[in-house]
């Protein structure tokens, strides 16, 4: 029997709340975070909505417990806020009392600063503030956050596009299973940047009205920003130390669609393989899944491909929804946000609605949940995170089981 991996802490910041309680309130109230761009000047303002964390740099700094300077990128501050909450929620005071790692996922790293630098640099190669570009790479946010948390034992950063956080969770769990670490703070962080907005816009997959996943008239995704971390701990000390876990990471799967760099295969091969692997590892049948937090970006391609893969595996279809209509697509952080939302679903017996859904997709029989469902016995949640490059990952999060 493989070692159990418990989730003992969660932390989250997103357009629908600055911590887990605020996010839960918004999810229950059906309150979406999608609105107009305010973070940076762009010709897309007013035309392409986004889901921003409505906090200025100074406000983020103060929420992150920092009082000085501007050495952090927005990506770092979002991550630091969520990671601190995760540690607090797990009741960890000394991160070094056991071998602890910090594994973070991101797709843009410090791009929020380097894109500003580069504009100035192009006008004059002697211009641009260096502190705006030295934090460009993906490792920067991970290292700043790890240092602030006091974690030195192990750090790593993953970037597999929109499945990054899910893959970070797998790496973390494997490290714990192998005995290399007892505990890992794991998740992801991404800020909205002009770079990603323009990048996705060149692919013409941004919805001008805000995303409506799994709807026949869906017209693309909506970019969001945020960060979410979970504390994963080995069963070997969770129960003996009297820690009450929030949930358990029961299984995961990673497969590649190997079809196209930015499009999913029509039959959802990668998605199908990833979900099946996760079920197999969890020793579960499809019928054991009570709720699916779908990847559901709202693009024509993803929702059809994912929907077909879901229909191939699940019959009958369990309750499912995409919560991206609330949070926007937070890219590298999405798997972390949705893992935290899955924990909230289990802990509170809730299934959150797929906002802005009205018309079934003509190719599919399945329909998402569209109103908040309360008092649900949610034992097992399957959460999908699929990315460009066919990087498809699935995690299964469950009510904690007791060691034998």
Partner 1 sequence: MSAYIDGIGLISPQQTTDPARFLPEVMEYTADFLQVINPNYKEYINPIASRRMSKLIKMGITSARIAMADAGCQMPEAIITGTGLGSVEDTERILNGMNAGEQLMNPTPFIQSTYNTISSQIAISLQCHHYNSTYVHRSFSFESALQDALLQFEEAAATTALVGGIDEMTSNHLGIVRRTGHWKMEPVNNLRLLSYRTPGALAGEGAAYFILRGAPSTSHYGILKDVKTFYHPKELQETSLEITAFLASNNLTANQLDAVILGYNGDIHSDSVYDQLGSGLFNENQQLWYKHLCGEYFTSTGFALWLAANILRHQYIPSVVKFNNQPADSFRHILIYNQFRNINHSLILVSL
CA 72 to chain CA centroid, Å, is: 21
269 binds partner 1 (CB under 8 A): yes
Nearer CB in complex with partner 1: 195/314: 195
Q: What is the spatial distance between Cα 85 and Cα 12, in angstroms, rounded to a whole number?
A: 7
If the CB atoms of residues 208 and 260 are measured against partner 1, the closer one turns out to be 260
Residues 6+ apart with CB under 8 A from 179: none
Clarify whether 144 is annotated catalytic.
Answer: no
Tell me: does residue 391 bind partner 1 (CB under 8 A): yes
**Contact pattern from residue 34 through residue 73 relative to partner 1, giving x for each residue in contact according to CB under 8 A and a dash for the rest:** --------xxx-----------------------------
Task: Spot the catalytic one: 144, 162, 211, 212.
Answer: 162
Q: By C-beta, is 15 or 391 nearer to partner 1?
A: 391
Shortest spacing between CB 152 and partner 1, in angstroms: 5
Q: Is 259 in the site for partner 1 (CB under 8 A)?
A: yes
Residue of 217, 222, 296 lying closest to 264 (CA atoms): 296
Cβ atoms within 10 A of the Cβ of 311, count? Answer: 16
CA 100 from chain centre, in angstroms, equals 21
313 near partner 1 (CB under 8 A) = no
In whole angstroms, the minimum distance from the beta carbon of 101 to partner 1 comes to 10
Pairing between strand 226-234 and 183-190?
antiparallel
Q: CA 119 to CA 128: how far, in whole Å? A: 8
Residues 227-251 as b/e (b if ≥16 CB within 10 A, e otherwise) read bbbbbbbbbeebeeeebebbbbbbb
Residues 73-102 as x/- pattern, contact with partner 1 by CB under 8 A? ------------------------------
CA distances to 102, 266, 317, 392 from 309, in Å: 33, 9, 11, 12
Residue 256 lies near partner 1 (rule: CB under 8 A) = yes
Minimum gap (Å) between residue 24 Cβ and partner 1:
31
In the set 26, 89, 100, 167, which binds partner 1 (CB under 8 A)?
A: 167
CB of 12 to partner 1, least distance (A): 22
Q: Is 376 in the site for partner 1 (CB under 8 A)?
A: no
Site for partner 1 in 201-220 (CB under 8 A): 201-203
The one among 98, 153, 367, 379 contacting partner 1 by CB under 8 A: 153
Does 147 help bind partner 1 (rule: CB under 8 A)? yes
Enumerate residues 224-253 that contact partner 1 by CB under 8 A.
Answer: none
CB of 344 to partner 1, least distance (A): 27
Q: In the annotation, is 162 catalytic?
A: yes
Answer for the pair 333, 145: CB distance below 8 angstroms, yes or no.
Answer: no
Rounded to a whole number of angstroms, the minimum distance from the CB of residue 95 to partner 1 is 13
199 binds partner 1 (CB under 8 A): yes
- By CB under 8 A, residue 257 contacts partner 1: yes
Q: How many residues bind partner 1 (CB under 8 A)?
A: 65
- Asked whether the beta carbons of 380 and 283 are under 8 A apart, the reply is no
* Contact flag: residue 130 with partner 1 (CB under 8 A): yes
- CB-based burial, 140-160: b 16+ in 10 Å, e otherwise: bbbbbbbebbebebbbbbbbb
Rg (CA), the chain: 20
329 as an active site residue: the answer is yes
Neighbours of 298 (CB within 10 A): 27
Nearer to partner 1, 128 or 368 (CB): 128
Residue 321 as a binder of partner 1 (CB under 8 A): the answer is no
Helix (H, G, I), strand (E, B) or coil at 191: coil
Q: Residue 66 or residue 256: which is nearer to partner 1 going by CB?
A: 256
Q: Name the residue among 334, 293, 305, 303 with its Cα closest to residue 213.
A: 303
Instruction: Decide if residue 300 touches partner 1 (CB under 8 A).
Output: no
Of 28, 31, 98, 177, the one binding partner 1 (CB under 8 A) is 177
Neighbouring residues of 202: CB distance < 8 A, sequence distance ≥ 6: none
Q: Kindly list the catalytic residues.
A: 162, 295, 329
């Amino acid at each position: 029997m493989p070692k159990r991996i418990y989730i003992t802490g969660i932390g989250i910041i997103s357009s629908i709340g600055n911590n887990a309680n605020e996010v839960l309130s918004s999810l229950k109230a059906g309150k979406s975070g999608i609105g107009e761009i305010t973070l940076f000047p762009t010709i897309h303002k007013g035309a392409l909505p986004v889901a921003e964390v409505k906090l200025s740099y100074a406000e983020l700094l103060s929420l992150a417990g920092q009082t000085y300077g501007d050495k952090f990128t927005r990506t770092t501050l979002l991550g630091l806020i969520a990671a601190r909450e995760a540690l607090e929620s797990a009741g960890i005071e000394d991160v070094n009392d056991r071998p602890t790692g910090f594994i973070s996922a991101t797709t843009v790293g410090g791009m929020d600063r380097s894109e500003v630098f580069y504009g100035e640099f192009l006008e004059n190669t002697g211009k641009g503030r260096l502190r705006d570009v030295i934090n460009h790479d993906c490792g920067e946010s991970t290292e700043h956050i790890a240092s602030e948390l006091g974690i030195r034992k192990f750090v790593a950063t993953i970037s597999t596009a929109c499945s990054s956080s899910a893959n970070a969770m797998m790496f973390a769990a494997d490290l714990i299973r192998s005995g290399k670490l007892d505990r890992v703070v794991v998740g992801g962080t991404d800020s909205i940047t002009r770079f990603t907005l323009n990048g996705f816009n060149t692919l013409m997959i941004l919805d001008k009205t805000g995303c409506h996943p799994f709807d026949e008239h869906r017209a693309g995704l909506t970019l969001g920003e945020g960060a979410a971390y979970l504390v994963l701990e080995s069963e070997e000390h969770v129960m003996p130390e009297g820690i009450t876990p929030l949930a358990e990471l029961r299984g995961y799967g990673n497969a590649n669609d190997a079809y196209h760099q930015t499009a999913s295969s029509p039959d959802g091969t990668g998605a199908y393989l990833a979900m099946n692997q996760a079920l197999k590892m969890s020793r579960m049948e499809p019928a054991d899944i009570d709720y699916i937090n779908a990847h559901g970006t709202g693009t024509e391609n993803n929702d059809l491909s994912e929907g077909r893969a879901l229909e191939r595996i699940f019959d009958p279809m369990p309750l499912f929804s995409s919560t991206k209509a609330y949070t926007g697509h937070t890219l590298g952080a999405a798997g972390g946000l949705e893992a935290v939302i899955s924990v909230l679903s289990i802990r509170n017996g809730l299934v959150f609605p797929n906002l802005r859904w009205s018309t079934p997709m003509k190719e599919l029989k399945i329909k998402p949940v569209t109103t908040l469902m309360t008092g649900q016995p949610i034992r097992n949640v399957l959460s999908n995170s699929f990315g460009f490059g066919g990087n498809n990952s699935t995690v299964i999060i469950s009510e904690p089981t007791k060691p034998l």
